[in-house]
A and B are shown apart, each in its own frame.
Chain A
Amino acid sequence: MSAVAARRLADKELIVVPYRRVSVSALATNVVLILLGCFFLLPLLWMVFASVDANPDWAIKIPTPTLANFADVIGRADALSSFRSSLILAGTTTVLTTLLALLAAYPLSRMHIPFRRSFMLVILFASGLPVSMLVVPVYQIYVYLGWLDSLYTTALFLAASSLPFAIWLMKNFIDAVPLELEHAAAIDGASTFRILRQVVLPLTVPGIAVTAIYTFINAWGAFIIPFVLTYSPENQPGPVEIYNFMGSHGLFKFGDLAVFSLLFSLPVIVLYLFMSRYFSGAFNFGGAVK
């Protein structure tokens, strides 16, 4: 019973429900958390306010409402093309990563592979390496192969760098699908392909979705790799474009920057909400075993 419900009941039935006492440590914890929250919330607040302000600057203030900033950004060709670039980049990365992670994770989860444990640990280690470390050699390779300034080849590297974690994530999701279901299907007469398509895949959908969304969000926000590997303006994805807003367009246009940041965050926010559903509710093998 929730506290509210308990109190409501208490009012009716004259039961004394003691109020929770606030301890000093709980108070301290909450103060610290609120302070930390401010660090994240204040920039967001600035973004929202500045985007609708006629005279924005770097301070948070009550805006003089206008939609001019939105009209300005939507009218800019480079802003729109950066959205297109980001979509291509993140989309390609996501498709590649998810597909490859699924193909790698299934045998890692199900088959007896020599040194599987060590392999998984290497993967875990690889997923922790900072990508910026690799930028210089990768740049040289791309120069050598003539792959520079293409969104698709850039996506290839983004996919490679996001694969280790994606494999790890996906493997855990596949591990959760009871092996007995595959045995049952095999005894039922299903071919390996049918087992994968009709039993394993549907049950791995939450895992695939989480991996895909996670990869997409990371690729959507990737800055250093596309910054180094692309140069023509029409190939610059969003994060690089934001950087350009601050530098190469001369004067700071705070309003445009805020609007662009806001618009650019929207897909991520929507996907996050979507993903949280998979993490909590849809993850359910109820009735499969026991």
Chain B
Amino acid sequence: MLSEVRFEGVHKIFGAETAVEDLNLTVNAGEFLVLVGPSGCGKTTTLRMLAGLERPSYGRILIGDRLVNNVSPRFRDVAMVFQSYALYPHMNVYDNLAFGMRARGAAGSVVAERVKETADVLGLGHLLKRRPSELSGGQRQRVALGRALIRQPQVFLMDEPLSNLDAGLRVQMRAELSRLHERFRVTTLYVTHDQVEAMTMGDRIAVMNLGRLQQVDAPETLYDNPANIFVAGFIGSPRMNFVPGRLTTTQGKTAIEFLGVKTPISAGSQLTGETTGGEVTVGLRPEDLMWGRVASPDSTLTVSAEVDVVEPMGHEAYVTAVCAGETVTSRFPPRSGVRTRERVELALNPARLHLFDARSGRTILQRPVAGGADVRRTVREARKEEPAEGRSDLQRQTGARGAPSRAEEIS
């Protein structure tokens, strides 16, 4: 059974500290929602409130139609994967997996069958007799997952489950988690501070900062239309460049003036907000700020900059340059031969600019969603609507293979 999860006006106050402020968030039934934000932003507190480990100071938390504010964790029918895994060290893998079912009074034969099933899904079959201390990090992670999976709960909660794994294993487990979610479709709330995990795994992403929810959207929407400077700066690596600018008019159209150049707002975008005194912050993604020599034809705006730092990454290079007194980062092709203190031409597409109110930090420009992202979204959603039985194993595998490739693309 799939259940949605709703937070309605939830606050959590610890002494004088407000950890979560007026949270209104719905996790749709069967959705994989990633809660992302810097440390201390209240995301883990939110998760713990849903698990029942913390009680909200105000507001309502609902699982399905049931108000769970005063329901103890034991009766909430949620399963949680802890950052530390929290495996029972004195029990072997079998007993770790079986613990939850036994606690709920399942018969021995049922438990044995489910443990076997779950162990097979996660490739733990040969490890059932081992203690957690005899397992590798990745295996422990799997046991922790299995302990959650086996219960078939209404909601999965994951608290940075991949942060203790090394980089390679993390990429692999990321794909595996996506695959498991494709397969079981359990409503999932996944907490992480890693934006790559958020982008690659989430059906939707909720960004939090300082206890407040900043924006909830599909990954591509979040990337293309961040609601404010915080979201814009948090999602995307390298970080979006922010430079001061002014709103003016040119030939009767609204235009933006920044980095010593002036450009009218492009046709597809529209201003959605007022600014105080025309002061704006202009946001430029490093990949939209291209080296003049290799820029695409629609990058019509060029600025001159002096290279400060070149960071070769192999498949590309990040170039930090100073342009009209502002430091900006740009993505260059590999082996561009550009050196420190060299003057280069940077080109940018006016249609790819982000505009924020300089005072409030809120976005004032609605941009069209990029075409590629839109298509991918539809494919994914179409897959979701297909009945699971109708799909062959082969198709399922292709679907699963899609996930890591998407992960690689963004990381």
Contact = CB atoms under 8 A, between A and B. Distances in A.
Contacts of B179: none
B151 A188 contact: yes
A286 B132 contact: yes
A290 B79 contact: no
A286 B74 contact: no
Contact of A284 (B72, B76, B103, B133): B133
Contacts of A202: 90
B70 to A, nearest CB: 15
A288 B90 CA distance: 9
Given A185-B99, A187-B52, A188-B147, A290 B85 contact: yes
A39 interface: no
Contacts of B53: 183, 186-187
Interface string B283-307: 0000000000000000000000000
A186 B51 CA distance: 10
Interface in B67-119: 72-76, 78-80, 82, 84-90, 99-100, 103-104
Interface stretch (A142-150, A189-197, A246-254, A269-277): A189-197
Interface in A152-211: 178, 180-181, 183-191, 194, 198-199, 202-203
A287 B151 contact: no
Contact of B86 (A184, A189, A198, A284): A184
B132 A190 contact: no
A186 B72 contact: yes
Nearest to A192: B74
A115 interface: no
A268 B51 CA distance: 48
B87 A288 contact: yes
A290 B136 CA distance: 10
Given A180-B82, A183-B53, A286-B132, A188 B103 contact: yes
Contacts of B90: 202-203
B352 interface: no
A202 B89 CA distance: 10
A188 B97 CA distance: 10
A189 B84 CA distance: 19
A136 interface: no
Contacts of A188: 79, 99-100, 103, 147, 151
Contacts of A178: 84, 86
Interface residues of A, number: 24
A287 B103 contact: no
A178 B51 CA distance: 18
B410 interface: no
A24 interface: no
A289 interface: yes
A285 interface: yes
B94 to A, nearest CB: 14
Contacts of A184: 80, 82, 86, 88, 147
Nearest to B72: A186
A184 B83 CA distance: 11
B132 A290 contact: no
B134 interface: yes
Contacts of A286: 89, 131-133
B135 interface: yes
Contacts of B151: 188-189
Contacts of A180: 82, 84, 86
A287 B132 contact: yes
Contacts of B132: 286-288
B164 interface: yes
A186 to B, nearest CB: 4
B138 to A, nearest CB: 12
Contacts of B72: 186
B11 interface: no
A188 to B, nearest CB: 4
B89 A285 contact: yes
Given A194-B103, A287-B133, A287-B135, A187 B88 contact: no
B103 A185 contact: yes
Contacts of B137: 290
Interface string B41-75: 00000000001110000000000000000001111
Contacts of A190: 74, 99-100, 103
B86 A289 contact: yes
B140 interface: yes
Nearest to A201: B90
B43 to A, nearest CB: 17
B86 to A, nearest CB: 4
A290 to B, nearest CB: 6
B206 to A, nearest CB: 21
A287 B134 CA distance: 7
A285 to B, nearest CB: 5
Nearest to A181: B86
B103 A289 contact: no
A110 to B, nearest CB: 13
A91 to B, nearest CB: 27
B73 A183 contact: yes
Interface string A100-123: 000000000000000000000000
Nearest to A199: B88
Nearest to A190: B103
A263 B150 CA distance: 56
29 contacts: A180-B82, A181-B88, A183-B51, A183-B80, A184-B80, A184-B147, A185-B88, A186-B73, A187-B74, A187-B76, A187-B78, A187-B79, A187-B80, A188-B99, A189-B75, A189-B100, A189-B104, A190-B99, A190-B103, A191-B74, A199-B88, A203-B90, A286-B131, A287-B89, A287-B135, A288-B84, A288-B132, A289-B84, A290-B164
Chain A to chain B: the 5 pairs with minimum beta-carbon distance, closest first: A287-B132, A286-B133, A289-B84, A188-B100, A287-B133
